[in-house]
Amino acid sequence: MTTSTDTPMVELKGVKKHFGDLEVLKGIDLRVDRGRIISIIGPSGSGKSTLLRSINHLEVIDGGNILLDGMPVNRPDLKGLAFERHINHIRQNMGMVFQHFNLFPHMSTLDNVTLAPRRLKRMQSTDARKLGMELLERVGLADKAKAYPSSLSGGQKQRVAIARALAMQPKVMLFDEATSALDPELVEEVNRVMKGLAEEHMTMLIVTHEMAFARDVSDWTMFMDEGVVVEANTPDRLFSDPDHERTRHFLRKHLGSQG
């Protein structure tokens, strides 16, 4: 495995994806260095989720390359079980956070967090418990360790989901609209956890509809539309002085609606 510091943590080269006749990703290039935080914005249907899901191989791309810390995600040369083993290994190095949390409802929050290290790393249950409690502490939910997801608020669920994704000590975290399904008053508690990760220099790709948060938290912002990266820049530059009319148009609509 590559660990040289100048290898990008995530690299996309000419990534293409279509669903039937619909071209959703039309050749995306992206380089995410270690510890960087990239926000991805763009109108509905522009391909943001598809891009993130492709990095995790939840969508299989049709062209181009995706590398995680130098390792190719797509390995058309591997078949069957060999590919399963490969992709499981890749995924263990990425944390994914979904819009609808997808917590496991039949397990306590602590078990949600510790399932992967226990079963995939064969971590002893006392160690797993310690790790799980640390992570729940970190997202401010240590007191909910024994609670089941059905008794948590949306914001709490998403924080547990983040803790769960962190449990395998991923190299990169992928967030797909982590706060879009939340009531407005619950957004901040999740954003705070994500900012905490940013301060610890976690490498992150954040798809979001929240322009203020994107501007605040990220080092680099990508504006996508119709399957292409229209422009990418530092958030200060992109939000205050975009190069493209399409970006300006999108921002006018979205910054306007946020007041």
Partner 1 sequence: MEFDFSPVIEYFPTLVQGVGVTLLIGLAVAVMSIVGGQIVAVISLYTRRVVSWPLRFFIWLFMTTPLLLQLYFLYFGLGELILIPAIVVGILGLGFHYMAYNADIFVATIRSVSDGQYEASRSLGFGHIRTLIYIILPQAFYRALPQLSNNMIIMVKDISVLSAIGIGELVYVSQYAISVTFRPFEFYITIAVIYYLINLMMEAGQSWIERRAAYRR
Shortest distance, position 32 Cβ to ligand ATP, whole Å: 18
Q: CB under 5 to 8 A by kind: which of partner 1, ligand ATP, Mg ion, none does 44 bind?
A: ligand ATP
Which single residue is written with the structure tokens 């039937």? 20
Residue pointed to by tokens 């924080």: 159
CA 51 to the chain's CA centroid = 10
Q: Which span (39-47, 106-114, 129-137, 233-241) binds ligand ATP, by CB under 6 A?
A: 39-47
Contacting residue, 91, 144, 157, 159, with partner 1 by CB under 8 A: 91
Q: Which stretch binds ligand ATP (CB under 6 A): 1-9, 42-50, 139-147, 182-190?
A: 42-50
Q: What x-and-dash track marks residues 2-41 binding Mg ion by CB under 5 A?
A: ----------------------------------------
What residues between 123 and 152 interact with partner 1 by CB under 8 A? 148, 150-151
Distance separating alpha carbons of residues 215 and 223, to the nearest angstrom:
12
Of the residues 16, 43, 58, 209, which one makes contact with partner 1 according to CB under 8 A: 58
Q: Does 106 bind partner 1 (CB under 8 A)?
A: yes
Rg (CA), the chain: 18
Nearer to ligand ATP, 58 or 142 (CB): 58
- Return the one option of ligand ATP, partner 1, Mg ion, none that residue 120 interacts with (CB less than 5 to 8 A, by type): partner 1
Interface with partner 1 includes 228 (CB under 8 A)? no
Q: Is 54 in the site for Mg ion (CB under 5 A)?
A: no
- Residues 118 and 96: their CA atoms lie apart, in Å, by 18
The footprint of ligand ATP on residues 239-258 (CB under 6 A) is none
Site for ligand ATP in 171-190 (CB under 6 A): none
Residue number with CB closer to ligand ATP (24 or 174)? 24
Token pair, residue 235, equals 């958030």
Sequence-separated (6 or more) residues with CB below 8 Å from residue 151: none
Binding site for partner 1 (CB under 8 A): 56, 58, 84, 88-89, 91-92, 94-96, 98, 100, 102-107, 115-116, 119-120, 148, 150-151, 161, 164-165, 168
